[in-house]
Amino acid sequence: MTIINKEDFITSLRDALQYIACYHPPDFIRAMHEAWQREASPAARDAMAQILVNSRMCAEGRRPICQDTGIVNVFLKVGMGIRWESDTGIDAMVNTAVHAAYTDPDNPLRASVVTDPAGSRINTGDNTPAIVHMDIVPGDRLEVTVAAKGGGSENKSRFAVLNPAADLVEWVLQQVPAMGAGWCPPGILGIGIGGTAEKAMLLAKESLLEPVTIHELLARGPASRLEELRLELYDRVNALGIGAQGLGGLTTVLDVKLRDYPTHAASKPVALIPNCAATRHLHFTLDGSGPVKLQPPRLADWPEITLAATESTRRVQLDGLTHTDISQWRPGETLLLSGRMLTGRDAAHKRIVELLDRGEPLPDGLDFSGRFIYYVGPVDPVRNEVVGPAGPTTATRMDPYTDTMLERTGLLGMIGKAERGPQAIAAIARHRSVYLIATGGAAYLVSRAIRAARVVAFPELGMEAVYEFEVEDMPVTVAVDCRGDSVHASGPREWRMRIGKIPVVTG
Ligand code: SF4
């Protein structure tokens, strides 16, 4: 009989969570590097380069890959020959590990989990509770797979019950363009087919925990119907031309994973869950001999890539910028920003718009006129950092506030990630504003451009407080220009046409 000791389990899980926050899996790095080498779209190639450089910096500095350090998913295969030596249940042990990992003073991870999701949405402060799945299996080992799933990619999950005769590939090809770029492609699609509604979702999630192996499958050819489907999906999703960060390009997915399960004769449940540029998961085994010992990966596994400004890169001084200045910028153009900007995301926008609607003044010192706002919720700093990893959050969540912010605060422009919706694009064009994107999943890299940070308003909101950042050469791309032209529309359209496998519908 194998005895699994409570402390060994908690220590192993805590260490695994710290590990995956900072180290991409080597198969993911290899696949991203190969995609970067193949990429022909300059904007997408630059975004992938930033993701790879960020990844290496995080491995060197042991800091989180992304500011969103995810909600913890734990999958346990508990051997029937195990006896637990613990005075608490498994969920409680998992949550003790999550608490310890996310509040580690040497490398604090951002707490993103809120309680009362349909109401007050109060942050639990330590990223608990985790989502735990357990199987009881033959054997005397404990198999643990742990993942930290970012909100941007989890939010793009899809589910449907198709007619049994319906085509899964067509369904996926309808879903992926509608998912936009908020899941920070290129990444991996996990697809579950069959079972019941909840089983299909679980199959999709579990499939994402497998390594990236599409290159082996391409080399040896399919040996089953599922492998044929996988290759077809890989080819046709990439032919959509969405590209890294939705900028248009050759690689939207690094792999497609499929799992299936028998289902009711009347049903064909299908689930799709994407994994993003911050793909984070790890598998380990406990056999009763003590906690798992995780070795840091070899830096030689990361490619050496240098980010260099090109002749066409525009350097922008944010202080004193005018509508005339920003009217020169065009979709897809790369900028290096220097100067001061304000930050804010969901909770701050809600507060600001509520104050404006009540006719009340904004807090002292909070003045958006002529300024840019960066949609970000950074990780807490450590040691000599001014701010922890601070990549952009999905901008579409701020769409309902955009017209009010532009109309009533004098805000000049916005920085976030992924596309804007029609309502926000109309507001940007009406106010002759502009929307820029930073690379999602390159959070540590972005944070190195931040030279100073101070809280300006709503300190009680924690990572959602409004900060003023002073930045130097922060890399961004123009996503929506002052006429309302969006690179997230034109880029994928252009690259879908160039790839030429899927017709482009215009009008
Ligand atoms: S890479 Fe993008 S989707 Fe993934 S956790 Fe980071 S911000 Fe969220």
Instruction: Please write the tens of the pLDDT for every residue from 237-254.
Output: 999 999 999 999 999 999
| Mean pLDDT computed over 20-25 | 97
Residues 6+ apart with CB under 8 A from 216: none
Residues facing residue 285 across a β-bridge: 143
| Mean pLDDT computed over 90-96 | 98
Q: What per-residue confidence (pLDDT) applies to 37? A: 97
Q: Is the CB of 152 inside a 6 Å radius of any atom of ligand 1?
A: yes
Calculate the average pLDDT of the chain.
96
| Mean pLDDT computed over 323-352 | 96
Closest atom, ligand 1, to C-alpha of 67: 6
Spatial CA neighbour of 142 closest among 8, 293, 296: 8
- What span, in angstroms and rounded, lies between the C-alpha atoms of 70 and 65? 11
CA-only gyration radius of the chain, Å: 23
Q: Is the pLDDT of residue 55 over 80?
A: yes
Q: Is the pLDDT of residue 135 over 70?
A: yes
Q: Is the pLDDT of residue 504 over 90?
A: no
Closest atom, ligand 1, to C-alpha of 443: 6
**412 with 370: CB under 8 angstroms?**
yes
pLDDT band at residue 310 under the 50/70/90 scheme:
confident
Q: How far, in Å, is the centroid of ligand 1 from the Cα of 90? A: 28
| Mean pLDDT computed over 428-455 | 96
Closest atom, ligand 1, to C-alpha of 393: 7
Q: What per-residue confidence (pLDDT) applies to 362? A: 96
| Mean pLDDT computed over 333-347 | 96
- What span, in angstroms and rounded, lies between the C-alpha atoms of 249 and 241? 5
Tell me the pLDDT tens digit for each residue of 480-498.
Answer: 999 999 999 999 999 999 9
Tell me the pLDDT tens digit for each residue of 355-413.
Answer: 999 999 999 999 999 999 999 999 999 999 999 999 999 999 999 999 999 999 999 99
Largest CA distance in the chain: 74
The residue contributing the CA closest to ligand 1 atom 3 is 152
Q: Is the CB of 475 inside a 6 Å radius of any atom of ligand 1?
A: no
Q: Is the CB of 276 inside a 6 Å radius of any atom of ligand 1?
A: yes
Q: What per-residue confidence (pLDDT) applies to 462? A: 87
Q: Is the pLDDT of residue 306 over 90?
A: no
- What span, in angstroms and rounded, lies between the C-alpha atoms of 115 and 464? 16
Q: Is the CB of 440 inside a 6 Å radius of any atom of ligand 1?
A: yes
Q: What per-residue confidence (pLDDT) applies to 172? A: 98
* Helix axes 422-430 and 399-409, enclosed angle (nearest 10): 20
Closest atom, ligand 1, to C-alpha of 66: 6
Q: Is the CB of 441 inside a 6 Å radius of any atom of ligand 1?
A: yes
Q: How far, in Å, is the centroid of ligand 1 from the Cα of 65? A: 9
**421 with 399: CB under 8 angstroms?**
yes
Q: What per-residue confidence (pLDDT) applies to 506? A: 57
Q: What per-residue confidence (pLDDT) applies to 503? A: 78
Q: What per-residue confidence (pLDDT) applies to 312? A: 80
Q: What per-residue confidence (pLDDT) applies to 404? A: 97
Q: How far, in Å, is the centroid of ligand 1 from the Cα of 423? A: 24
| Mean pLDDT computed over 203-226 | 98
Q: Is the pLDDT of residue 276 over 80?
A: yes
Q: What per-residue confidence (pLDDT) applies to 1? A: 87
Q: How far, in Å, is the centroid of ligand 1 from the Cα of 440? A: 6
Q: What is the dihedral of CA 159, 95, 384, 461, to 10 degrees?
A: 70
- Starting at the edge strand found earlier in the chain, the sheet holding 281-286 runs 131-137, 71-79, 142-149, 281-286
- What span, in angstroms and rounded, lies between the C-alpha atoms of 58 and 447? 11
- Six token digits for residue 400: 């309902």
Residues 6+ apart with CB under 8 A from 363: 456, 457, 458
- What span, in angstroms and rounded, lies between the C-alpha atoms of 158 and 140? 36
The residue contributing the CA closest to ligand 1 atom 5 is 150
Q: Is the pLDDT of residue 505 over 70?
A: no
- Dihedral sign of CA atoms 152, 27, 12, 198 in order: positive
Q: How far, in Å, is the centroid of ligand 1 from the Cα of 442? A: 9
- What span, in angstroms and rounded, lies between the C-alpha atoms of 112 and 107? 16
Q: How far, in Å, is the centroid of ligand 1 from the Cα of 396? A: 14
Residue 438 identity: A
Substitution site in 58, 66, 113, 189 for ligand 1 pocket (most atoms within 8 Å of beta carbon): 66
Q: How far, in Å, is the centroid of ligand 1 from the Cα of 418? A: 11
Residues facing residue 334 across a β-bridge: 477
Q: How far, in Å, is the centroid of ligand 1 from the Cα of 185? A: 9
Q: What per-residue confidence (pLDDT) applies to 179? A: 97
Closest atom, ligand 1, to C-alpha of 392: 7
- What span, in angstroms and rounded, lies between the C-alpha atoms of 457 and 348? 9
Q: How far, in Å, is the centroid of ligand 1 from the Cα of 378? A: 12
